[in-house]
Amino acid sequence: MASSQPVQTLITKSNAKTDIQNWMDGFILDRKTMQVSKNTINFYQVEFRRFIAYCEQIGVDKLEIITPSILRSYLIHLEDTGRNPGGINAGYRAIKTLFNWYEEEVEPVDWKNPIRKIKTPRLDVQPIEPVGLDDVEKLIRICNDGSVLSLRDKAIFMFLLDTGLRAFELCAMDIEDLDLTIGQVIIRKGKGGKPRMVWFGKKTRKAIRSYLRERSDKCQAVWITNNETRLTYWGLNQMLKRRSVEAGIDKPGLHDFRRAFALNCLRGGMDVYSLQKLMGHTDLQVLRRYLAQTDNDVREAHAKAGPVDDLL
């Protein structure tokens, strides 16, 4: 599908596609024009394929004849076919975005957006386990031979924990994005293509300076490989796997550092709105899981120090 092709052409080009499929193609084209990330495009495509399959199953081929009842039945279908609450919520979000886009794009007469009648599926708030601070300390300690790669890996572990960056955001950083004087980095294209500022402390600044001081290459990336090329997500994950073996710990996920940042910021007293901005979240939905974790902290603290249990 050529990126320059107008949406209306997509709608009428082929009789092989249903009306629903054509509008979904138009939506994807619109999002590509907006330069959203490949991961976001893939998310919509996967969810749309599920919805198209369901519509074919029940004999629905036009978008404007979809009713709130059909959408409710689809969400029940997702549950019946084994999708967890997070997956059902994801399916709902994709369809909601599509219908809202269609309403704004087409401005259809005598048509009411059915998604407005559908409440957001409940998403259970479950605590999310982060990487343990003891494990991070072990990872940092084994990066101690003074080599450029050890200095890099030590700085990466400290930076991930200190900023809560997503792994792809870390890999995309350029040296010009860093301000080591005040401990600031510009994330030029975060999730959804949204830029933001994040900050890091004195110890992390010192670790990054030590690493950059030993480099003699001209690569613009902050984090590079032995071949002086930008470190990729795959390379970062392999590095973590290797260092975890050396440290004698179970390998954490790259996202576990982000969780540790969020949870420890909340435990340290940071308000949720500041944390939301630092992490680049559009809403507080994900942070509610971390808040549930801190509720557990409070409960455990009461169990240890509640006065009545020790009174009698």
pLDDT tens digits along 91-145: 999 999 999 999 999 988 889 999 999 998 876 655 567 788 899 999 999 999 9
Q: Are 118 and 284 in contact (CB under 8 A)?
A: no
Token digits for 99? 């219908």
Share of the chain above pLDDT 70, in %: 81
pLDDT of residue 98: 96
- Read off the pLDDT of each residue in 73-84 and give the average, rounded to a whole number: 93
pLDDT of residue 277: 75
pLDDT tens digits along 245-304: 999 999 998 888 988 888 888 777 777 777 777 777 666 666 666 666 666 665 655 566
- Read off the pLDDT of each residue in 51-75 and give the average, rounded to a whole number: 95
- Read off the pLDDT of each residue in 39-68 and give the average, rounded to a whole number: 94
Cα-Cα-Cα-Cα dihedral of 244, 250, 253, 256, to 10°?
A: -100
Report the range out of 152-161, 194-203, 268-277 with the highest average pLDDT: 152-161
Query: What is the Cα–Cα distance from 246 to 160, expressed in whole angstroms?
Result: 19
pLDDT tens digits along 162-182: 998 889 889 999 999 999 999
Share of the chain above pLDDT 90, in %: 57
Walk me through the domains of the chain, giving residue ranges and CATH numbers.
Answer: 7-117 (1.10.150.130), 133-301 (1.10.443.10)
Q: Please, which pLDDT band fits residue 188 given cuts at 50, 70 and 90?
A: confident
pLDDT of residue 228: 93
Candidates 149, 159, 153; CA nearest to 180 is: 159
Q: Are 216 and 229 in contact (CB under 8 A)?
A: no
Give backbone dihedrals phi and psi of 75, rounded to 5 degrees, phi first. -65, -35
pLDDT tens digits along 220-233: 999 999 999 999 99
Q: For residues 108 and 238, which has the higher predicted lDDT (pLDDT)?
A: 238
pTM of the complete model: 0.60
* Residue carrying the six token digits 């052409």: 9
Q: Are 77 and 54 in contact (CB under 8 A)?
A: yes
CA 223 from centroid of its chain's CA atoms:
21
